[in-house]
Amino acid sequence: MGLGGSKKPIKNQKELPEESKEQIGNNEVQSVGVQDSGLNGQNLAEPVPFHNQADCETVIRGANNSWIVLGRDRPGPKNSGYSGRGSTGAGSIDLVVGKMGATKGGVKSNIYADPNFAGDAARIHISQKTDIDKNFGLVRGNVGLSQAKSGIGIKADAVRIVAREGIKLVTGVGPKERNSGGEKVKTTYGIDLIAGNDDETLTLEPIPKGLRLVETLRDLNARIDELNGLYTTIVLALMAHTHVTTLPGALTTPSPDFIVNGLVNGLIPAFGHKVKVFIDEQNNLQPYGGNWICSRHNRVN
């Protein structure tokens, strides 16, 4: 078992070419793990495929399946992307580690591999003209699919963006903004947070604005409080109600039973309800409340 509970062994040299295996076996210090074991940054033999290089590409290759490819937009075979269509203005930088690392069969030597946005282990892809959502297999969402525009895609098992002094996600910076094709950006695009790359099972919904939501809920609480007051007024009126008897001009006293029922089943519960509404507002709708519904750190416009 490998590091972190992985089923893959920490060192896998099964897919090395036969000549490399023989070389390791015939070298005593290497075969027993003294030399070229990979420890402390030593050289390490491991299976690495070849990059199926296109004529327009400049390839920088590391010894352990790390690559920088400078070329034109190409998410797959040589005929893919805007490079495959012979498009200008489609320059790209593809930074990849672990070619074939996420494929079922794993990494193999002596094989020519095209870029594989699903099957390579980790990638940062920068392209001047690309269909970035299609290349990474992303759903439309509310923002939609970007086509024939500049794009940057990042994919790995785990992606972390860390800032010591805040992170801003910004779409558009002003009314005179132009896209990579020189066209004016006429629409304000939003930000979609999509878990599981699924925009159908759970429909994307607008993120509420915290302060406006607080104001709305406070208005609602005020209406509930008004209703509570009207209810209390009616109960008090009924408790004090008298009516004329059969004797001309004579009034009856209020009903003792109704007074008791009004207190037990009306005024006391109404007061308790009023207290609960007050506590809920303090707990949920005030910044000092334990359940303050606004994020204390993050904002959305």
* Three-state secondary structure string covering 163-210: CCCCCCCCCCCCCCCECCCCCECCCCCCCCCCHHHCCCCCCCCCCCCH
Same domain (yes/no): 178, 250? no
Please identify, among 131, 164, 197, the residue that sits at the C-terminal boundary of a domain: 197
**Using CA atoms in the order 256, 257, 261, 263, what is the torsion angle rounded to 10 degrees?**
10
Mean pLDDT of 259-285: 77
State residue 93's pLDDT score.
Answer: 98
Same domain (yes/no): 192, 240? no
Same domain (yes/no): 192, 267? no
Same domain (yes/no): 270, 187? no
State residue 128's pLDDT score.
Answer: 97
Same domain (yes/no): 81, 224? no
Same domain (yes/no): 16, 136? yes
Domains in the chain, number: 2
State residue 232's pLDDT score.
Answer: 73
Residue 75 lies in a domain: yes
Computed over every residue of the chain, the mean pLDDT equals: 83
d(CA 136, CA 116): 10
* Contact by Cβ (8 Å): 43, 63: yes
Residue, of 230 and 122, whose pLDDT is higher:
122
What is the C-alpha end-to-end distance of the chain, expressed in Å?
A: 47
d(CA 85, CA 74): 10
Asked if pLDDT for residue 207 goes beyond 90, the answer is no
Residue 192 lies in a domain: yes
Residue 34 lies in a domain: no
Please identify, among 197, 221, 242, the residue that sits at the C-terminal boundary of a domain: 197
Residue 42 lies in a domain: no
Same domain (yes/no): 234, 154? no
Asked if pLDDT for residue 95 goes beyond 70, the answer is yes
Mean pLDDT of 164-192: 86
Cβ partners under 8 Å of residue 104, min gap 6: none
Asked if pLDDT for residue 1 goes beyond 60, the answer is no
The pLDDT > 90 percentage for the chain reads 39
Same domain (yes/no): 73, 106? yes
Same domain (yes/no): 112, 175? yes
Please identify, among 155, 174, 197, the residue that sits at the C-terminal boundary of a domain: 197
pTM as predicted: 0.73
Mean pLDDT of 275-301: 80
Residue 155 lies in a domain: yes
Same domain (yes/no): 51, 95? yes
State residue 177's pLDDT score.
Answer: 85
Reported confidence tier of residue 32, pLDDT bands at 50, 70, 90: very low
Same domain (yes/no): 190, 235? no
Residue 113 lies in a domain: yes
Angstrom distances, CA of residue 63 to CA of 11, 69, 98, 223, 274? 15, 15, 11, 70, 72
Same domain (yes/no): 217, 184? no
Residue 117 lies in a domain: yes
Asked if pLDDT for residue 13 goes beyond 60, the answer is yes
* Contact by Cβ (8 Å): 274, 268: no
261: containing domain: 210-284
Radius of gyration of the chain (CA): 35
State residue 268's pLDDT score.
Answer: 78
